[in-house]
Chains A and B, each alone.
Chain A
Amino acid sequence: MNLRRFLPKSLTGQIGLLVALALFVAQAINFGLMLNERRGARFGQVIVPSVTRLIDANERLANPLPVDPVDDDRPRRQRRDFDQRTRVQLSNTQPIPGGQPRRPDIEDAIERGLVDGGLDPLQVLAVVRPIDDRRPFLRKMSPQRADRLRRLGAELHVAVQLRDGRWLSLQTGWPRSEMVVIWQLLIQTGILYIVVLIPVLLATRRIAKPLRNLAAAARSFVPGENAEPVEEHGPSDVRSVIAAYNGLSKRVTAMLDEKDRMLGAIGHDLRTPLAALRVRIESVEDDEDRGRMADTIDEMNRTLDDILSLARLGRPSEPPTDVDLSALIDAVVEDFRDLDMPVQFEEAPRLTMRIRTGLMRRAVRNLIENAVKYGQSAEVTLVPESENALIAVADRGPGIPPDQIEAVFDPFTRLETSRNRGTGGIGLGLALARAIVRDAGGDIVLANREGGGLIATIRLPR
């Protein structure tokens, strides 16, 4: 069994639990000390007088004095088996009714006291029993005494067997102090918890809340988006953590801005010579040659576009809009067909999705481009499922060795062995397509088809 599961995980919970435990331990120690002290006090209050009474009674009962003339002003019923002054009973049989648990600790203490006082008993019996309100003797005694007994809650009954076999016994009030002490402890603990725990919880909440806000801000951090800095509050340590985070996010944003500016400059610097080249090749006489050159320049330009888009994908400038996905695929396929490329699309019913149109067009186009490049043709299907839309692009090309299926997603990977292409270039298309689709919350999966060829499936959440 793993108890750890039940432990609180939050800062407030852990500190609260720790403080509560510490308080409890402190209270328990306190309680032990208090009990000990009570026991000592009880000795003083109950056992010492009892011993004195017993010794006194023993002397008086064993050597009955003639009536003391000084004391004789009160009429007194003189009894041979009851010492009036100490209220100690003398009997020939064991006076304590059986069936009650004995208290060896009290017995030992009384015996030690008796021995110290010169009385060496055969044995000492002691029981503590609760006061029963209905017991007749309560009514016989004075109201104050009865009241005191009731308040104490218990009485101690001691019987001492003397050397001659007779028994001395006495009854006296016994404070049932454990209950009182336990109640005191509970109330004390409760007060302590309120006094200590509430400020502790408030203080930790004060620390934990800004930390939670910070965590939320860090989780929702979109690189490059100029988010509001997290408000600095809480103790100074927490404040400095928040300030450090704010600084960090600002630096990240600044770095991304710098990257964007640099990419823009690179794009411009590369496109300008490409554009110049594209203008110059118009002077090439041979139509076929010129066409090939134009294709190469177009391809370089597309690659440049892909690099720039991939690099900027984290912060796309195009907002998502409601688009008919079926028409989107149809439009992309139609552009390929306009260029006389063998691309088939089974018309699908209208399917409205919220996506970034331009980027998604490019993702679908890249997959079809790959299929046409390596498989000479492409069949595109759109399957609307209950939670996803699946766009499958299938070809009948050589496929991909199973152990390299993941590798083709890495930018700049191309499988030279199984797939060759005439025009050269880099395997950026798939990486970009996957990045676009993942940005939209979906994924792209590649699989080899039965009967040869590759099937690339875009899964988009609806």
Chain B
Amino acid sequence: MGNVIGIGAAPKRKEDQRFLTGRGNYVSDIKRPGMAAGVFVRSPHGHAVLRGIDKSDALASPGVIAVLTGDDVADDGLGSLPCGWGITDAKGMPMKEPPFPMLAQDKVRFVGDMVAFVIAETPEQANAAADLLKIDYKVLPSVVGVLEAVRPDAPQLFEDVPNNICCDWELGDKAAVETAFKKAAHVARLSLVNNRLIGNPMEPRAAIAEYEPGTDRYTLWTTSQFPHVVRFLMGALVLNIPQHKLRVVAPDVGGGFGVKQFHYGEEAVITWAAKRVRRPVKWVASRSEGYVSDRHGRDHVTEAELALDETGKFLAFRVNTLANMGGYLSTFGPNIPTNLYGPLLGGVYTTPAIYCNVKVVFTNTVPVDAYRGAGRPEATFVLERIVDVAASEMGIDRVEIRRRNMIPKEAYPYQTPVLVQYDSGDPMGCLDGALVAADVKNFGARKAASARKGKFRGLGYSTYVEACGLAPSRFAGRLGARGGLYESATVRVHPTGQVTVMIGTHNHGQGHETTFAQIVSDKLGVAFENVDIVFGDTDRVQFGMGTYGSRSLVVGGAALSKATDKVIVKGKKIAAHLLEASEADIQFEAGKFSVAGTDRIKTFEEIAGAAYVPHNYPLEVLEPGLEEQAYYDPVNFTYPGGCHIAEVEVDPETGTVTLVNYTAVDDVGTVINPMIVEGQLHGGIVQGVGQALFENAVYDEGSGQLLSGSLMDYCMPRADHLPMMKVATHSTLCTHTPMGVKGCGEVGTIGSPAAVINAVVDALSHLGVTHVDMPATPNRIWRLLQNASLPVAAE
């Protein structure tokens, strides 16, 4: 008999045994009888007319089974890859939504765009045959930057998308903002770039598809964060496969970060191909292939203005952004720089008027979509940077200006001028906690010590809030979502009292098998080891929207909590019958049903047994069995946030920025497993630090070539780049989720870039530096120091 392990405890993870011993089950580990190998042939050009493909040599190559191209897709009348969000412009006109064929048909629009799929007996044979394809391209000039793409003379990606603008979106009261700016005592202005990122989960994407003629069923194993959504989008909208004839399995998945929460063309092509060749087909991306095909993130160019009164109170905030969509609309693409960006521009402040315009722009680059944080890191970066600029220009301390504008704890729930209403929070409490934890009061001494070594030390703050737990379906529907965003869970109690949970979220590192088991153990009083969590298989799990937007615990955990409550309700009915008491008198606590005020009890196991062996059972009014299901659709987003403080040291000789201290105090609501929450915060923070200091996806204007196309060119954070971080929580409870949870998957990535860059600017402020674009690489800082033309010596 094991132990109940409840909410707030930190048991070691259930999933670890298989990963530690090399027994994980990732897609690339799976082999099917008779399996063939597929490789995708991708465009080497950023922009070209596809004039024709001669398959003959490739087809004659040893081991080749089939070569499929866009013409075959067209012949089979298959659909275009769907976009899950339809946003509208300021006049209410729908966004421009050109088709996104699963294999290119008339044109290629980015380096990596898929042109053909070659299937052979072995990967080597498929690769050899791919080299023999004769593809006739008429190369066109590429445009990769948003500023360049909207120029009148820019190359046009689509005939019916003038100036490459997909949508000219806006949010907020433009007139109120203009009025406020006229009254301002000071206006701070900032131009910035939010650098393009590549998610780089350590497991490259992969897929295996199989068709069973005997049952007319397809199975797709894919590295996905949301197998049910893939089944729906691919089955219903692309391949016309009935939902009951399509099984999508996402087994162990080696990290996602958003990269694996889209329906990719590769999934559709390989599923379609498996039926055509009547063989299981497997494709595993190389890392380099991932760089030119995994959806990228961020990539904004922004002009922001903050109006303040003479005391430093924010009067109005105006933001104009150009957001890069890449060559086509990906699953969530247009939603990210609009609905997940504009509504966050209020931050933790009482700014009464906000206006945001976002031009969503097509370019000859990999489609851009959600990457950990998705829109919210971009909003936080703009806001937290301009607050520092305003403080510096007005001579107000950076912490003080934040305090003067912060929403006080007692003002919650707080309605912002940009749609969202924060239910709870205590930004001042997080700030106070972080100031102590980061030992800010002794920063001066540390800075002086750095100066003695010839180094510049800086401190940076980011006080922020985000919106996650995606999402209230009704609200999302008004914003253009084409699907619901609820979650579902089934709690199956076995006759012996053990529990299997089927849940629609997907675990790819977040520790759901542990956290969700704690919830069940806590609520049902069942031993922790007697609870298993099943996910990632549309044949085993009823339905689900998957894992992204810090939604798994918030929305999925709520569904699980509700389903567990239903089990208790039914259990009480059974107990009332067995104990010959009225249902109202039955109590359930610590795994025991009892008649209030008596010592008559039935254990959870006894009730489960009675439900499946209903000899003495109220069959007239109650069905046998003990299994309950719940769907949960949240009423609001959740709003985690906090305060991050970064401390950096800059070496003026080399321009190297070293992160020397990092402190985060975050409000993530109720913490189910503190060990797992800390791990999520660590990882999230380092992804934000990566954006701030190291990572940058660089394209060559004109040719459209990705210059940072491998792990040798794209700098990922490594162990020796980082200090030991201090993370802590300062929680207020979410008022509308069943357990008070807010989500913790993305906060680190949202809060950290601004904290790090504010620290870098602080370190260099004595040289007149007011802004540094990300990533703050040694090259960029060294050049900045040279151009400053100031004595490069410590104060």
A binds B: no
